[in-house]
Chain A
């Protein structure tokens, strides 16, 4: 049951990384789209593609937090205690991003749109960066379970900065592929080319940073690297294959296939991390078994999870299908 609980947490985390990650990435492209006139069409596409879904995608994060504190309370407390700076900044980034996006939608004046849009876009880059550094600190075993530790030296390290950068560029990659698919569906050929080029750029960036990350990881957390290249290797390979595969298919494949493959590329990286870390939650000192809540809580969570899957997944399906069929229009 403990492993099941860890698995649920992991599934939710992965879902947030894929869906929320794509929304963050859209913010990255929004930020880099240029001035009001030049960036107008890419921004309109971004707006259209994340408008109806970003709020639902965001809820995965809440679900992840509440699952973590209910199923593994001491680990949640330890992570929050130690990583309060990056996580606090990420939380504030989320406020700026969400409200910036919502306000831009209802702003009319260009100056107001520019201010709210820039807030949304900049915080879409900052937030995943801090999440990434926090994930790096957790993965490399730098978060102690009990003893309080100084915060800065825990997460302000080359490895964590690498994972932060990797998070940003991964989000950008996901979003670029999604937006390419979106542009093709809407028959906007120039935007398709625009985002296709950016997909390639982001993929190259992600590849470079990952490769550099392996070198840094080798020094900072040899244990994790060892496990990543041991039991985690199928996922690493899957990620590389799908990640590169998408680039080859960008020209012709069905947009739906593109989306699935890009999500798979990102999801398998996280799966690889999960497998490499199993059976530990923090580095190799806090095991799933030692940190889990009492059995009754875990069983309840499993029950709630089943109910959630039965209620939420079909609803999410309705939302995405309506969105894809163009039934959710602004106005």
Chain B
């Protein structure tokens, strides 16, 4: 991200940095809207089904966390909608008629999610239990629908289709082909599962830290078990889907796949390089090479031919720096994915044999780290797909330098965004920590605090 890809207007570098910053920020919040809401419903279901008070408390607290993070996600998403036009008028002006369709669909899902999440969060006290539970179902469904719609737009940028061009202008659109483009299913599923992996491990890690610090309790155990089991079930599926995604990328996006595999020249018997860097002359240094492995993974045979970067015309070939970023991010995504799989297997084996969570300190340390590790996995996966497409914004149709704005001082806008959006992120962490402190102190203060000085409440926060 830190390198100018190709010659372009002075706005290109800050515009890319700005987009990377806001998208990278927003994507961390996505799992909370999409998947934390599922966890909170699971807890609520358990609470009503088994009369479990701890589960009810967890559901209520998770819903408050979801509310705060959904609010921040909604506003950072709004900034992104503005940035589509402010930073990339070339993209929106030329392809908005096609690219916009999935976003309009997303608009509906976002609407429903915002409405029912409000009803759910504010409805705890005055609704019958199962009515309240049902109000959460549209939240989960629209979270999934929204994810699918946004990813449809992203997939379209990777494999654009469903449009007829004349002199470079869109003159006809086949909406279904735009939405359900060739990359849609596997990309959408991959992102949806990623949301569950991140929300699951991240939520569980909070309770793992709590256990390491203060020892086990029934409440903490449940708070760990619900999200961790979800993540542990999803992670093997995610790795399987990831493998499918990689093979589809090999077929559909050869330039991206060449960058992932650090491959400067086409060939068969391509080794899989773990780690390593490509030098300016195309050779690969450092890293561990597994002979034939890339070919085997791509086409189930060592004779599988993989296209190298030399097949991309020089003027649109990604520079070595970007190739290295894509490759390293891919390694980070796969490496962290397998580390999480290992932890999930450990948990699964012990659970099947003893119906108990592994008791060793090492497991709990791993579980405490798993949240951050899953975020690294998510972010690096996103870098692979975005940086891997460069220098194209819409593969084969629109170069990033032609999509970018020509007006304005983007550096200033960028600085403002880092301060304000970053400040919102820091603020979110601060209020979540404050909520956690209050909960640990046994106070259920959340939304019902009157505005203005109240000595009694102050006393609770300063024990």
Task: Provide the residues of chain A in CB contact with B349, threshold 8 Å.
Answer: none
Task: Provide the residues of chain B in CB contact with A318, threshold 8 Å.
Answer: 115, 119
Compute how far the CA of A47 lies from the CA of B451 in the bound complex, rounded to whole angstroms: 9
Compute how far the CA of A156 lies from the CA of B450 in the bound complex, rounded to whole angstroms: 40
Asked whether, in the complex, the Cβ of A329 is within 8 Å of the Cβ of B125, the reply is yes
Asked whether, in the complex, the Cβ of B74 is within 8 Å of the Cβ of A58, the reply is yes
Asked whether, in the complex, the Cβ of A312 is within 8 Å of the Cβ of B89, the reply is no
Task: Provide the residues of chain B in CB contact with A44, threshold 8 Å.
Answer: 450-451
With A79-B85, A105-B447, A319-B119 known as contacts, the answer to whether A301 contacts B72 (CB < 8 A) is no
Asked whether, in the complex, the Cβ of A99 is within 8 Å of the Cβ of B424, the reply is yes
Task: Provide the residues of chain A in CB contact with B173, threshold 8 Å.
Answer: 293-294, 296-297, 300
With A106-B434, A304-B108 known as contacts, the answer to whether A94 contacts B78 (CB < 8 A) is yes
With A84-B86, A103-B68, A297-B101 known as contacts, the answer to whether A74 contacts B460 (CB < 8 A) is no
Which of B200-208, B275-283, B297-305, B412-420 has 4 or more CB atoms under 8 Å from chain A? B412-420
Compute how far the CA of A151 lies from the CA of B99 in the bound complex, rounded to whole angstroms: 27
**What's the least CB distance linking A323 to chain B, in Å?**
8
Nearest neighbor of A51 in chain B, beta-carbon distance = B122
Q: A104, A311, A323: which contacts B108 (Cβ < 8 A)?
A: A311
Which of B233-241, B317-325, B403-411 has 4 or more CB atoms under 8 Å from chain A? B403-411
Task: Provide the residues of chain A in CB contact with B427, threshold 8 Å.
Answer: 99, 103, 116
**Which residues of chain A from 302 to 331 have a CB within 8 Å of any chain B CB?**
304, 307-308, 311-312, 315-316, 318-319, 322-323, 326-331
Compute how far the CA of A21 lies from the CA of B214 in the bound complex, rounded to whole angstroms: 48
Asked whether, in the complex, the Cβ of A319 is within 8 Å of the Cβ of B420, the reply is no
Task: Provide the residues of chain A in CB contact with B249, threshold 8 Å.
Answer: none
Task: Provide the residues of chain B in CB contact with A88, threshold 8 Å.
Answer: 82, 86, 408, 413, 416
Which of B47-55, B90-98, B184-192, B393-401 has 4 or more CB atoms under 8 Å from chain A? B90-98
Asked whether, in the complex, the Cβ of B175 is within 8 Å of the Cβ of A77, the reply is no
A70 within 8 A of B: yes
Task: Provide the residues of chain A in CB contact with B116, threshold 8 Å.
Answer: 315
Asked whether, in the complex, the Cβ of A58 is within 8 Å of the Cβ of B96, the reply is no
With A73-B100, A77-B93 known as contacts, the answer to whether A62 contacts B118 (CB < 8 A) is no
Nearest neighbor of A97 in chain B, beta-carbon distance = B75
**Which residues of chain B from 62 to 85 have a CB within 8 Å of any chain A CB?**
64, 67-68, 70-72, 74-79, 81-85
Compute how far the CA of A39 lies from the CA of B453 in the bound complex, rounded to whole angstroms: 11
Compute how far the CA of A88 lies from the CA of B122 in the bound complex, rounded to whole angstroms: 32
**Which residues of chain A from 65 to 89 have a CB within 8 Å of any chain B CB?**
65-67, 69-71, 73-74, 76-82, 84-85, 87-88
A164 within 8 A of B: no
Asked whether, in the complex, the Cβ of A151 is within 8 Å of the Cβ of B450, the reply is no
Task: Provide the residues of chain B in CB contact with A84, threshold 8 Å.
Answer: 86, 405, 407-408, 413
A128 within 8 A of B: no
A59 within 8 A of B: yes
Compute how far the CA of A84 lies from the CA of B14 in the bound complex, rounded to whole angstroms: 15
A194 within 8 A of B: no
Q: B97, B171, B406, B460: which contacts A73 (Cβ < 8 A)?
A: B97
A135 within 8 A of B: no
Nearest neighbor of A90 in chain B, beta-carbon distance = B82
**Interface of A, helix, strand, loop or mixed by DSSP:** helix
Asked whether, in the complex, the Cβ of A331 is within 8 Å of the Cβ of B79, the reply is no
Q: B64, B90, B96, B408: which contacts A293 (Cβ < 8 A)?
A: B96
Task: Provide the residues of chain B in CB contact with A37, threshold 8 Å.
Answer: 452-453
Task: Provide the residues of chain B in CB contact with A104, threshold 8 Å.
Answer: 451
Q: How many of chain B's residues touch chain A, expressed as a range? A: 35 or more
Q: How many of chain A's residues touch chain B, expressed as a range? A: 35 or more
Task: Provide the residues of chain B in CB contact with A148, threshold 8 Å.
Answer: 406-407
Nearest neighbor of B163 in chain A, beta-carbon distance = A294
Q: B68, B97, B122, B126: which contacts A297 (Cβ < 8 A)?
A: B97
Asked whether, in the complex, the Cβ of B82 is within 8 Å of the Cβ of A65, the reply is yes
Asked whether, in the complex, the Cβ of B86 is within 8 Å of the Cβ of A62, the reply is no
A102 within 8 A of B: yes
Task: Provide the residues of chain A in CB contact with B170, threshold 8 Å.
Answer: 293-294
**Which residues of chain B from 324 to 370 have a CB within 8 Å of any chain A CB?**
none
B315 within 8 A of A: no
Compute how far the CA of A78 lies from the CA of B81 in the bound complex, rounded to whole angstroms: 15
With A51-B122, A58-B114, A73-B100 known as contacts, the answer to whether A92 contacts B453 (CB < 8 A) is no
**What's the least CB distance linking A120 to chain B, in Å?**
11
Compute how far the CA of A58 lies from the CA of B75 in the bound complex, rounded to whole angstroms: 9
With A84-B86, A92-B420 known as contacts, the answer to whether A107 contacts B71 (CB < 8 A) is no
B2 within 8 A of A: no
B254 within 8 A of A: no
A29 within 8 A of B: no
Compute how far the CA of A74 lies from the CA of B431 in the bound complex, rounded to whole angstroms: 42
Asked whether, in the complex, the Cβ of A69 is within 8 Å of the Cβ of B92, the reply is yes
**Which residues of chain B from 442 to 462 have a CB within 8 Å of any chain A CB?**
445-454, 457-458, 460-461
Task: Provide the residues of chain A in CB contact with B382, threshold 8 Å.
Answer: none
Asked whether, in the complex, the Cβ of A296 is within 8 Å of the Cβ of B175, the reply is yes
Q: A39, A69, A85: which contacts B408 (Cβ < 8 A)?
A: A85
Compute how far the CA of A39 lies from the CA of B452 in the bound complex, rounded to whole angstroms: 8
B265 within 8 A of A: no
Task: Provide the residues of chain B in CB contact with A97, threshold 8 Å.
Answer: 75
**What's the least CB distance linking B151 to chain A, in Å?**
15
Asked whether, in the complex, the Cβ of B127 is within 8 Å of the Cβ of A327, the reply is yes
B316 within 8 A of A: no
Compute how far the CA of A330 lies from the CA of B450 in the bound complex, rounded to whole angstroms: 10
A206 within 8 A of B: no
Task: Provide the residues of chain B in CB contact with A293, threshold 8 Å.
Answer: 96-97, 100, 170, 173
Task: Provide the residues of chain A in CB contact with B122, threshold 8 Å.
Answer: 51-52, 323, 328-330
**What's the least CB distance linking A126 to chain B, in Å?**
12
Nearest neighbor of A326 in chain B, beta-carbon distance = B126
Asked whether, in the complex, the Cβ of B449 is within 8 Å of the Cβ of A328, the reply is no
Nearest neighbor of B127 in chain A, beta-carbon distance = A327
A220 within 8 A of B: no
**What's the least CB distance linking B160 to chain A, in Å?**
15
With A65-B81, A69-B96, A77-B89 known as contacts, the answer to whether A109 contacts B452 (CB < 8 A) is no
Nearest neighbor of B176 in chain A, beta-carbon distance = A300
Compute how far the CA of A91 lies from the CA of B112 in the bound complex, rounded to whole angstroms: 22
Task: Provide the residues of chain A in CB contact with B452, threshold 8 Å.
Answer: 36-37, 39-40, 43, 110, 113
Compute how far the CA of A82 lies from the CA of B417 in the bound complex, rounded to whole angstroms: 19
23 A-B pairs with CB atoms under 8 Å apart are A51-B122, A62-B81, A65-B84, A65-B85, A76-B85, A77-B85, A79-B85, A82-B407, A85-B408, A92-B79, A95-B78, A98-B71, A101-B71, A102-B68, A102-B72, A108-B445, A108-B458, A110-B452, A113-B452, A148-B407, A304-B108, A319-B115, A328-B126
Extra contacts, 8 of them, besides A66-B81, A101-B71, A106-B446 (Cβ < 8 A), are: A58-B74, A59-B111, A69-B84, A81-B405, A108-B461, A294-B171, A315-B112, A329-B126
A-B residue pairs, 3 tightest by C-beta: A70-B100, A73-B96, A80-B85
